[in-house]
Amino acid sequence: MSKMPLVTGGIRMVTSKLIKLRPALLLVVSLATVNLLGQSFRVQCPSNTALHPGTSAKPNPAIKCQQLSGGDGYATMADGHQIYLFGFGPLSGVQDIANGLPGTQSAATFNKIGDPNSAIGLVDPATGSIDAAPVLNLGVMNANIPAPLIAIDEDDELFLTLTNVGMIMRPDLFEQHTVHFHGYPNASSFFDGVPDASVAINIGASFTYYYTAPDAGTYFYHCHITPPEHLQMGMVGQLYVRPRQNRAPANTSLYSYLQGWDSPNSPGRIHAAACLSGDVLCTTPLPASDNGASQPTGGAKYAYNDGDGSTAYDVEYPIQIHGFDPNFHFVGMTFNPEGFSDMKDKYFMLNGRSYPDTVNVTGNYEQGDAGAASNAIYTQSADGVSRPAQPLPTLITLKQGQKALLRISDLDVTEYQTLASLGIPMKVIAVNARLLRDMAGANMYYDTNSITLAGGESLDVILDSTGVPKGTYFLYTPQLDHLSNDAENFGGLMTEVVVQ
């Protein structure tokens, strides 16, 4: 084996005797080779770039990095069924992801060996090499549903590394994986994850995707290798971009800030764009007039660059709608052909969980509460080890008067999905990561008690608890066949909204 030809970033086998090996043995040979190679698992996360200058001692905070594994694993459905997955798992930001937070880190944290949120398997400064063992120990059977959250700020640069660790339960499958940023604007085709126009990552290899963040909004990502199969099997996750308006200094006019005010509180960032000068990065029209809204003391959080404060919120909850066909997943774990034409979802989930698991929290779950206990659901894999696979509950908690931003995306392969809210109207502010505003700058937000999405769509919704009596409300689907866990009654697309 020491004479086997190798290439960094993957494994090349040319010896005819090796090709004749049984698939299971071939996988063992491949993983052993990766351990010898090491450099195949290299990640890229620079401390500075031409757009964002910095130093190795003081990396620029606008450079964000994250690492994912691509492989297989298991998740537990609300009726107790353990279902087989293809999926992405975390290889960085592990602690934050366990706490229900995005796994995206600054370059300073990502590259800091020993930090609980740094990348697994960084280059050892003493030897200059990479130990692949921790990458495989964590990455194998590490499929998560939903995939790890990715969250960046406008004008950031994102370096996202995908490491393909292989399908342990299907050693006959030499599945490549990619990351496709669905609906993401101004994407370079080379980094867009569509293998026809870019690259696909082989088992034992890593690839780093690069993106700038030009437009705020709620997006999502998925594998683009045989998409109907890999999406159905669970290779889907959320990506959202926070607006530059969040960086407006206190007592500064939001309208004026978006016209080109340069923030001194954002050292090293690209200047806030002059959106009235035809800047291509400013795709959201400013309001028709300046209503005098300004950033309050202590700052505020906004969903979009609205210029009038109308998308302000207090807490945010990413909600990923998805469905599983248990028969398709069972066949996917065997060596039988999958029935694409017969695909029919029977588990309907919010963030990979059906009710009542959607509200099963062990800590004080709220976005931004990094001290919350892990809320992951653990599932025993085929090797007898229990691993977390569903880290994100969907219990929505509000204090009276607060506003919650719901970042809702539908990543279902086969179905349209509807969610209804009774007692707390939903204000829809954006569709498919575009603020609802006409070309003259007039707001086109609307209030409703139900929304319907097709697969590949997203909506940004604000729940306003002002004047709402304390109590428990429900966000659920009125489609009765989607309100179940396979053959069991009750469950499916439902969660609770608690006004405290």
Per-residue tens of pLDDT for the chain, all 500 residues: 333 332 333 322 222 222 232 333 233 333 334 444 456 788 999 999 998 888 888 999 999 999 999 999 999 999 889 999 999 999 999 999 988 899 999 999 999 999 999 999 898 887 777 888 889 999 999 999 999 999 999 889 999 999 999 999 988 888 899 999 887 776 778 888 788 888 899 999 999 999 887 789 999 999 999 888 999 999 999 999 999 899 888 998 998 888 765 544 444 444 444 455 455 556 677 898 899 999 999 889 999 999 999 999 999 999 999 999 999 999 988 888 888 888 999 999 999 999 999 998 764 334 444 334 468 888 988 888 888 899 999 999 999 999 999 999 998 888 899 999 989 999 999 999 999 998 888 999 999 999 999 999 999 999 999 999 999 999 999 999 999 888 887 789 999 999 99
* Amino acid 7: pLDDT: 31
Kindly state the tokens that stand for 190: 């080379």
Task: Say how far apart CA 348 and CA 320 lie, in whole Å.
Answer: 11
Using CA atoms, how far residue 99 sits from 41, 319, 354, 365, in Å, is: 26, 15, 19, 8
DSSP per-residue codes, 406-455: EEEEE--SS--EEEEESSS-EEEEEETTEESB-TT--B--EEESEEEE-T
Secondary element (H or E) of residue 218: strand 217-222
Secondary element (H or E) of residue 322: strand 315-324
What's the pTM? 0.87
**Residue 104, phi then psi, degrees to nearest 5:** -70, 135
β 377-380/386-390 pair status: antiparallel
CATH superfamily of 313-499: Cupredoxins -  blue copper proteins (2.60.40.420)
Establish whether the linkage from the previous residue to 134 is cis, with ω within 30° of 0: no
Residue limits of CATH 2.60.40.420 in the chain = 313-499
Contact predicate 195/176, CB 8 Å? yes
Establish whether the linkage from the previous residue to 264 is cis, with ω within 30° of 0: no
Task: Say how far apart CA 346 and CA 194 lie, in whole Å.
Answer: 29
Integer distance in angstroms from the first to the last C-alpha of the chain?
63
